[in-house]
Amino acid sequence: MRQRPPLMSIVSALPSTVPFVGPEAQERGRGRAFRARIGANESSFGPSPRVVARMAGLARDMWMYCDPDNHDLKVAVAAHLGVSAENVVVGEGIDGLLSLVARMYVAPGDAVVTSLGAYPTFIFHIAGVGGRLVAVPYENDRESLDGLLAAVARENAALVYLSNPDNPMGSWWEAAELIRFIEALPETTMLVLDEAYGELGPASALPPIDVAQPNVIRMRTFSKAYGLAGIRCGYAVAEAQVIRDFEKIRNHYGVSRMAQIAGVEALADQDYLQNVVARVAAGRRRIAEIAEANGLKPLPSATNFVTIDCGGDGAFALNVLQALLSRDVFIRKPMVPVLDRCIRVSVGLDHELDIFAEELPGALAVARGN
């Protein structure tokens, strides 16, 4: 047998897994498409019509490389948030930016604090650089701010990750509590505050942006409320030196010309964004009504999904999920103990929620063995 070049020891020790199995992979395995794609927290409403028109007109220009400085999008984000362009970095969605943060702040063996059951892609990137993950259990279906702080102090953590509003539970903290959390952090610990769902929750959950705070990185995306998950574009806002450090290692041609211009156009159409926010709120109410009509408990949500307590254990909720998948309804669920009693349903178009309402009673019957 021929030898192969050795892998780095950190990579060699990792399991051959990925954070998510996408709906496309599931459809290939099943041999048929889903009728309701309400599991990936995408926006079925899509982007603004003016964004779509702009993107269509750009197709002929895709022979050109993107602007490696992301200049126009950085300026647009800065103007939208009331900060300087030197406080903004653009990346391939929040996922791409998380990969950079892991490389910037985590050495092999460094403690990194997160919540048990929080966004798995963050965990994936930390494992990839050899960080030592310290997971804090949720408390009452919310990330535990006091628990995270205690773990940071105990472990002398290099990095702590917090999402607000939260995935997978849809819960959130008010801005005053987040400010308290930030002020209590050691200066040597970097906070990644993931606000992917920030536009969809109450404004009171978003603290004012303070770009003078050197140990806070705020991350946002065009994948959720703006309906542009497929273009992979997000941004981080932080103190100017932190942004300059991102620039040292980021992929300067990673965000396509199409994505950059679509992002600028999306920010310019705030009327459409508010329309989507209202439709998402209506969709959350519809999902909650469907859940309650079937004897289940919807949890309060500040996102574009509703997490539903199925009233049993993790095995029962998994049976519900699998029964829905067999009925061509794509959803997901939390997987760690306590949270795993739930399923998670994204807001979709009316006909998709009609299908969910039609298929849920049968899925529950199968899960109960009836």
Q: Is the pLDDT at 16 greater than 90, yes or no?
A: no
Domain ranges of the chain: 9-46+271-367, 49-269
Instruction: Work out the pLDDT band at 184, boundaries 50, 70, 90.
Output: very high
β-pairing, 36-37 vs 329-330, is parallel
Q: Do domains 9-46+271-367 and 49-269 have the same CATH topology?
A: no
β-pairing, 234-237 vs 88-91, is antiparallel
Residues 29-45: what's their mean pLDDT? Answer: 96
Mean pLDDT lowest among 1-10, 33-42, 121-130, 293-302 = 1-10
Q: Is the pLDDT at 351 greater than 90, yes or no?
A: yes
pLDDT at residue 370 in the model: 80
Q: Is the pLDDT at 17 greater than 90, yes or no?
A: no
What CATH number does the domain located at 9-46+271-367 have?
Answer: 3.90.1150.10
Sheet arrangement for strand 305-309: 297-298, 305-309, 342-346
144's tokens:
């535990």
CB atoms within 10 A of CB 251: 12
Distance CA 90, CA 99 (A): 13
Percentage of the chain modeled with pLDDT above 70: 100
CB atoms within 10 A of CB 308: 28
Residues 310-332: what's their mean pLDDT? Answer: 98
Question: Which SS3 state, helix, strand or coil, does residue 208 take?
Answer: coil
pTM here?
0.96
Q: Is the pLDDT at 50 greater than 90, yes or no?
A: yes
What CATH number does the domain located at 49-269 have?
Answer: 3.40.640.10
Percentage of the chain modeled with pLDDT above 90: 96
pLDDT at residue 1 in the model: 81
Identify whether the C-beta of residue 70 lies closer than 8 Å to the C-beta of residue 260: yes
